[in-house]
Each structure stands twice: as structure tokens, then as C-alpha cells.
Amino acid sequence: MKNILIHIGRVLLALYFLAPGIAKFTSWDYHVALMETHNMIMVPILLAIAGMAQIIGSLSLLINKQVVFCALGFAAMTLLININLHDFWNAYEGVDAKHETQNFVKNLGIFAGLILLAAVNIDEREKS
């Protein structure tokens, strides 16, 4: 049962990052505008890096390869996104602080799941 739950969690986390990774390219202008609203720098470069990392990392999680590296990478990315794009403590025109607070807290849950996924996979590698 434990292995089934770990695999379900890994696949769901992979899908959570795969769809937005693809969307970064299919809705490029939207994501550029979002990042620019939050006064980010080097937007096209960071957006392309984030999109590629999400797609490649998600595919790796789906095939159960480099799980610890991908989970920790996504955890770091989630924290960076929280600080830069869900900064509810700052006021931006057209940005709802309550919605950003909700996204911030939700992302902390995603972060926790990624840390647990990494920990479980480190534990599994140590047993091998």
C-alpha cells in the first residue's frame, strides 16, 4: 500500500508541474505579463528556464528517474515562485492580495509534498 501511495503522489506532483510547464510556452504573453506585473527581471529567460525545468522534471518524475533531484528542484522553484509571484504583502494593480495569499499557502503544501517525496526516495535508495 505504501508504494502505491508514493507512486500516486509522485505522478500527481509530476502532473501538477507538467501542465503549467507546457502553459508557459502556449500562453507565453500571459506569463510574461504576470512576471512583469511583479517587477521580475530577465523575464523571457527565466520563463523559458522555468518552463523547460517543469517539463523535463515532470517527465523524469513520471518515469521515476532522478526523483530526489527533481523533487528538491521543484521545492526550490516553488519557494522562489511564492516569494516573487505570490507576494501578497505587496500591492500590485489588478492583483488580488487574498487570492495571492491563498496561492502562497497552497504552494507551501506543494512544497511539503515535494520534500516528503524526496525524503521517501532518499530512504528507499538507502535501503537498496
Q: Quick one: how far is CA 93 from the chain centroid? A: 25
* pLDDT at position 125: 64
Q: How much is the pLDDT for 126? A: 63
Q: Where are the domains of the chain?
A: 2-127
For residues 28 and 44, what is the distance between their CA atoms, to the nearest angstrom? 9
Alpha-carbon span 79 to 9, nearest angstrom: 19
- CA atoms within a 13 Å half-sphere pointing along the CA-CB vector of 85: 17
Question: What pLDDT, on a 0 to 100 scale, did the predictor assign at position 42?
Answer: 96
Query: Which mean pLDDT values do the consecutive 10-residue runs of the chain (128 residues) have?
Result: 94 97 97 90 96 98 97 96 84 80 92 96 72
The amino acid at residue 111 is F
Q: Counting runs of H as helices and runs of E as strands, what totals does the chain give?
A: 5, 0
How far lies 128's CA from each of 49, 73, 121, 123, 124, in Å? 33, 23, 11, 9, 7
Q: Write down the pLDDT at residue 57.
A: 98
Q: Determine the pLDDT at residue 90.
A: 77
